[in-house]
Amino acid sequence: TRGAIAPTNTLGVPSVAAQSRALRVPVAVAGAKMGVELFGSQGSRSPLVNWYLYELGTPFEMAPRDRNPHPFGQVPCLKDGTVEIFESGAILLYLAQKYGGLSTPEAMADVTKWVVWANSALDPILFLENERGQVIGTRMTQNPKGIQVLEAMLGDGREWICGSTFSVADVAVGAYLLYMPQFFPDLDVSVWPNMSKYMLRCAQRPAYAKAYEKETPSIIAKCQSYLKK
């Protein structure tokens, strides 16, 4: 598959060794024609798409915002040849199918439900927004049922959302959870120890650190502090 790095596991993410090699390769080469263009900004949620692209080892370039084809002018938006996609979940699922080796409905089933859940259910738990889309609070202080279920699930011995293998589902869920230390630094996440350990595992991945370069040291430190309580 164009832009992918072998070997790739069954959930669409290269092995750790292949991933490490990929992170040593520049994302864009001067003068090279890039197939994947990402329209986004560090201050938005688009870096989670960068994270997955780095996990896959798929070459891409950050495109100028004035060429953004998103019909509402928002980010993230991705262009791959003639294909244009917006909404982070839709972008992740497209990349998983085209570059992650998840090319059948059966292969997509496990990850799709979690990517959709992250966007439709986890997002409104984590982020209360006003009419302008600005984050003004969180429902996490209420220990919502969805978080209780996630905490219990992460305590059943699994390392990642879909079991023992990291997947695009972890990018969708993990990225949203890791926004908590940034938006709500005073929130005591230690009350969910399994989730805290999971967040730390996600934040320590090389591809995450590459996508969230400036934020990662403080996020890791925060996650480690949750586990000391």
User: Which tokens is 199 given?
Assistant: 């967040």
Terminal-to-terminal C-alpha distance of the chain: 45
Residue 9, token pair as written in the block: 């596991």
Residue 24, pLDDT score: 44
Q: Which residues of the chain have pLDDT under 70?
A: 1-34
Has this prediction a pTM greater than 0.95?
no
What distance lies between CA 176 and its chain's CA centroid?
A: 7
Burial of 133 (0-12, 13-18, 19+ CB in 10 A): exposed
The number of beta carbons lying within 10 Å of the beta carbon of residue 155 is 14
Alpha-carbon distances, residue 214 vs 25, 43, 197, 220 (angstroms): 20, 11, 21, 11
Work out the mean pLDDT of the chain and round it to a whole number. Answer: 88
166 touches 11 (CB < 8 A): yes
- Over residues 137-167, the pLDDT tens digits come to 999 999 999 999 999 999 999 999 999 999 9
30 within 8 A of 121, measured Cβ to Cβ: no
Alpha-carbon gap, residue 74 to 8, rounded angstroms: 32
Three-state secondary structure call for residue 30: coil
Instruction: Give CA–CA dist 151/138, Å, rounded.
Output: 17
Classify residue 16 as exposed, middle or buried by CB count within 10 Å of its CB (0-12, 13-18, 19+). exposed
Q: What is the pLDDT of residue 44?
A: 86
Q: Please count the helices (runs of H) and the strands (runs of E) in the chain.
A: 11, 6
Can you say how many angstroms the Cα of residue 138 is from the centroid of all Cα atoms in its chain? 20
Element (H, E) at 176: helix 168-177
Position 219 scores a pLDDT of 97
Is the bond leading into 76 cis (omega within 30 degrees of zero)?
yes
